[in-house]
Amino acid sequence: MDELERIRQRKLREITGRSKAEGSNEDWPGEPLEVTDASFSQVIERYPLVVVDCWAAWCAPCRMIAPVVEELAREYKGKIVFGKLDVDSNSATAMQYGIMSIPTLLVFKDRQLVEKLIGAMPRGSLEQRITRHL
C-alpha cells in the first residue's frame, strides 16, 4: 500500500506541476511566433487569446503594420500571443479562413475565431479592436 500511495503522490505532483506550467503565461512569447499550416492549430489551442497576422513579403501594407504587431506582442506578453502566417507559404490555412486581402489579422479567443481585421490601420485602432477581447 505504501508503494501505491507514493506512486499516487508522485503522479499528483507531476499533474499539478504540468497544469501550472501549461496555465502559466510567464513563458508566453514576447514577439510574434512564426505560424505555419502545420503549427496553426497547436498555437490556437495552446493560448487563450491569439492574434494571427496573415501577410506576405511583397505586401507594402503588411510591412507597415509589422512593427506595430511586434510592439503589441512585447507590450501584451502574457495576455495576448501574436503570430505571423505567411500566406504565400501556408495557403491551406489562408484558404481555410478565406483570406482574400492582406494584411488580415485573425483574432482567436478560446480557440474560436472572434474577429477578422482586414487591411492596415493605425496602431490605436488596431490595439483597441484587439484588446477588447481580453
pLDDT of residue 1: 59
For the chain, what are the domain ranges?
28-131
Weakest-pLDDT range from 3-12, 44-53, 76-85, 117-126: 3-12
DSSP secondary-structure letter at 101? S
Domain 28-131 CATH superfamily = Glutaredoxin (3.40.30.10)
pTM above 0.85, yes or no: no
pLDDT of residue 25: 79
What is the torsional sign of CA 22, 25, 30, 33?
positive
Per the DSSP assignment, residues forming a β-bridge with 62 are none
The label of the residue with cell 500571443 reads: 81
User: For residue 2, what is the enclosing H or E element?
Assistant: helix 2-23
Whether the Cβ atoms of residue 94 and residue 54 lie closer than 8 Å to each other? yes
Cis peptide before 32 (omega within 30 of 0): no
Give per-residue pLDDT as tens, 113-133.
999 999 999 999 999 999 999
pLDDT of residue 72: 97
Catalytic residue, from 35, 59, 81, 106: name it: 59
Whether the Cβ atoms of residue 49 and residue 134 lie closer than 8 Å to each other? yes
Is the pLDDT confidence value at 43 over 80?
yes
Rg for the chain (alpha carbons), in Å? 18
C-alpha–C-alpha distance, residues 97 and 110, integer Å: 17
Catalytic residue, from 62, 69, 81, 106: name it: 62
37 residue type, one letter? D
The answer to whether residue 59 is catalytic is yes
